[in-house]
Structure 1
Amino acid sequence: MQPLVIAHRGASGYRPEHSRSAYDLAIELGADAIEPDLVPTKDGVLVLRHENEVSGTTDVADRPEFRDRRTTKTIDGHRLTGWFTEDFTWDEVRTLRTRERLPELRPASRQHDGEDTVLRLEDLLAILDAAPRRVGLVAEVKHASAFAAAGFSMASLLDGVLGDAGWRGDDRLTVESFEKGVLRQVAEHGTGGRLVYLQEARGAAADEVAAAGSAAPTYAAERTDAALTRLASEFDGISVDLPTLMAGVDTRAVDDPRPVRSDVVDRAHAAGLAVYTWTLRPENRFLPAALRRGGDLAATGDWERWFTSVLRTGVDGVFADHADLAVRARSLVAGQPGPA
């Protein structure tokens, strides 16, 4: 089976992330699934934002009526100042306009600032249901333990929305999180779908740190053979960052048909876990130094060599800001004969 191309926050290389236009374009560009990030409002509505602090992705800082909502919070150990979704009702959040998060890197996308409003999870489900072909959902639950401390059960909120929209138990559904606890809660609710544990290269899961402090197992420790076997007893897959996936791997020429060996892919597959990776982006800023072209970090580098090398590891799915480029890279890999 060919690896899935998952549109990272929609077509976020071309439109402000998590906007309706980003989702619509991702479907048009051939994405197999769309990945939204889920955070709650004060009244428990799951909205689609990369983080609950939204000054970088909306016009909230320019809205005088919300000036007094600016505050400082500590989220998963990081101190942040700005405007947070859980301090707004849905009726307030729905008035915010989306903005490009990386305006210097993606000026073309910046031209679409202000065109769309913030959406809820049910809005995206309706978009997917109306799509001209089957498109999956890979829903990332953000900061579950931090929100639990603030009185929000993210698993319950998710289960409620999916149930109301007819998505509960739908085989198009995947739920992912950097915290195992909320994935277990999703399973307890009987929400259905595949459960994927996100892992950073370093550090430890926020819920593990909250429970065990400095004794919390690191993400790296959860990638040993024994740990992967334990994860496979509860979850369907893991999702790792590209440096972890490609550690020690040489990139191949675009027309090189040989497979690329990735230690974490091989060992996770042996344990019975699917493997996903994030995030494929074509700009020089996000490419290995050897694949950058010219001195402008916003310019496009040798993305084909990078994307095809990643896909040759046997990974089960890739997150991409530019779904069309990932689809093209997949076709290049699929169209090559195997080694003699």
Structure 2
Amino acid sequence: MRTPLASLLLISTFLMASLAAQVMASPKQTHANNSKALVIAHRGASGYLPEHSLAAKALAYGMGADYIEQDVVMSKDNALLVLHDPYLDRVTNVAEIFPGRAREDGRYYAIDFTLAEIKQLEMTEIFERKDGKPKQKYPERFPVWKSSFKVSTLAEELELIQGLNQSTGKNIGIYPEIKAPALHRAAGKDISLAVLKELKKFGYSKASDKVFLQCFDAHELQRINSKLMPKLGMDLKLVQLIAMTEWGETLRNNAMGLKPEPYNYDWMMKPGAAQKIAEYAEGIGPWFPMLVDRNTGKPNHMVQEAHQAGLLVHPYTFRADKGQVPPQFKNFEEYLAYFYNVVGVDGVFTDFPDRTVKLRDSL
């Protein structure tokens, strides 16, 4: 899941800091103002270690996250990889190890590489090339290329979490996301079926299991609900992720079968949408500015209608980095408190699970 810099523009109409301070002083009892409100480690403890590294997942586990997220893509030889994007160049040294393997758009797609090739790569913090040098997206985070991290498989990560569950006596959940199913389908790969089979292999098959399965692609989520899970004898909790249409998060062929067009998410933010989503999912994962009115900064209809439809609300992504906390709030904790106490969400995706756990528990 992504949070563009434009977020600060959209949320500039939030309530002023004085109101946020009032929220901290006098918590309002809401649907989510209790110990059941979840802390979901977004790509692990990604505020401290490279996202989706096993080290980041172990740290998130130790910090007390309730669920740990896994974004899943596929390799050329059908391995399930824990990687936020379908391409490798954003967090690995693939351009140096395999020069000339980029597609026409200049990106190095995981689906074009075997697992053995991907295991040769080193993974680091998010970076982009500036004047031929890597520039870190979040400068305060773990420095780029200062240690050797590797892209892991979904199986490797599930083994880690389940192993820690056994050794600690806890039961920390998982929160996998099926990435770019249309891209994989175009390459002849059914990533949704593959992920479901892997989850079932590791014992995740029932609605009561500690797993949420999320996807931005509404058609794919409906297919998972109505066709794939019944076929496999599974009944997992599904979460509909919600993006801004202009992000192009989900591309689908138009009616003429010509150039793919972005899926239109606008309907998901309109009154009455929750009832439709509840027909195939148990929760929604909106971008957090979607939950407040742009003019007043107060909660809009989305959370209330979701709860009335029986849906959980888990917005993304709460970051404490410089420039990521809306200016109306004095600090990260006030920012979180507003969404837990006033907006009334049931959990949040965060890069900083330790600070989020501490704030949630203080409420």
Question: Shared fold (TM-score greater than 0.5)?
Answer: yes
Determine if the alignment matches structure 1 residue 100 to structure 2 residue 137: no
Please give the residue correspondences for 1:306-325 in structure 2 after superposition, counting only pairs within 5 Å: 306-312=335-341, 313-325=343-355
- Give the aligned partner of residue 284 of structure 2: 238
- Give the aligned partner of residue 228 of structure 1: 274
In structure 2, stretches of 5+ residues that fail to align are 1-33, 128-135
* Letter of the structure 2 residue corresponding to residue 110 of structure 1: P
Identity of aligned residues (%): 28
Determine if the alignment matches structure 1 residue 193 to structure 2 residue 232: no
- Give the aligned partner of residue 269 of structure 1: 307
- Give the aligned partner of residue 61 of structure 2: 27
Give the Cα–Cα distance (whole angstroms) in 2 for the partners of residues 320 and 242 of structure 1. Answer: 11
Structure 1 residues 109-165: Cα deviation after superposition (integer angstroms, max 9, x where no partner): 126644221100111111111122111111111111121111111111112212332
Give the Cα–Cα distance (whole angstroms) in 2 for the partners of residues 249 and 30 of structure 1. Answer: 36
Please give the residue correspondences for 1:1-340 in structure 2 after superposition, counting only pairs within 5 Å: 1=34, 2-63=36-97, 66-72=98-104, 80-101=105-126, 103=136, 105-110=138-143, 113-131=146-164, 132=168, 133-169=170-206, 171-187=209-225, 188-190=227-229, 191-203=234-246, 209-212=252-255, 218-248=264-294, 261-291=299-329, 302-312=331-341, 313-332=343-362, 334=363
In structure 1, stretches of 5+ residues that fail to align are 73-79, 252-259, 292-300, 335-340
Shift of residue 219, structure 1, vs aligned partner:
1.4
Counterpart secondary structure, 1:145: helix
**Preserved contact between residue 126 and residue 137 of structure 2 (Cα < 8 Å):** no
- Give the aligned partner of residue 257 of structure 1: none
Shift of residue 316, structure 1, vs aligned partner:
1.1
Calculate the TM-score normalised by the size of structure 1: 0.83
Give the Cα–Cα distance (whole angstroms) in 2 for the partners of residues 21 and 263 of structure 1. Answer: 39
Counterpart secondary structure, 2:150: coil
**Which 10-residue stretch deviates more, 43-52 or 225-234?**
225-234
Shift of residue 185, structure 1, vs aligned partner:
3.0
> Closer, same or farther in 2 for the Cα pair 1:217/1:81, shift >3 Å?
closer
Between the two proteins, the alignment pairs up a number of residues equal to: 307
More relative contact order in 1 or in 2 (CA 8 Å, sep 6+)? Answer: 2
Give the Cα–Cα distance (whole angstroms) in 2 for the partners of residues 61 and 29 of structure 1. Answer: 34
> Closer, same or farther in 2 for the Cα pair 1:249/1:265, shift >3 Å?
farther
**Preserved contact between residue 10 and residue 22 of structure 1 (Cα < 8 Å):** yes
Shift of residue 193, structure 1, vs aligned partner:
1.6
Give the Cα–Cα distance (whole angstroms) in 1 for the partners of residues 184 and 267 of structure 2. Answer: 26
> Closer, same or farther in 2 for the Cα pair 1:199/1:104, shift >3 Å?
closer
Give the Cα–Cα distance (whole angstroms) in 1 for the partners of residues 190 and 221 of structure 2. Answer: 12
Give the Cα–Cα distance (whole angstroms) in 2 for the partners of residues 195 and 53 of structure 1. Answer: 25
Counterpart secondary structure, 2:316: strand
> Closer, same or farther in 2 for the Cα pair 1:211/1:197, shift >3 Å?
farther
**Preserved contact between residue 155 and residue 186 of structure 1 (Cα < 8 Å):** yes
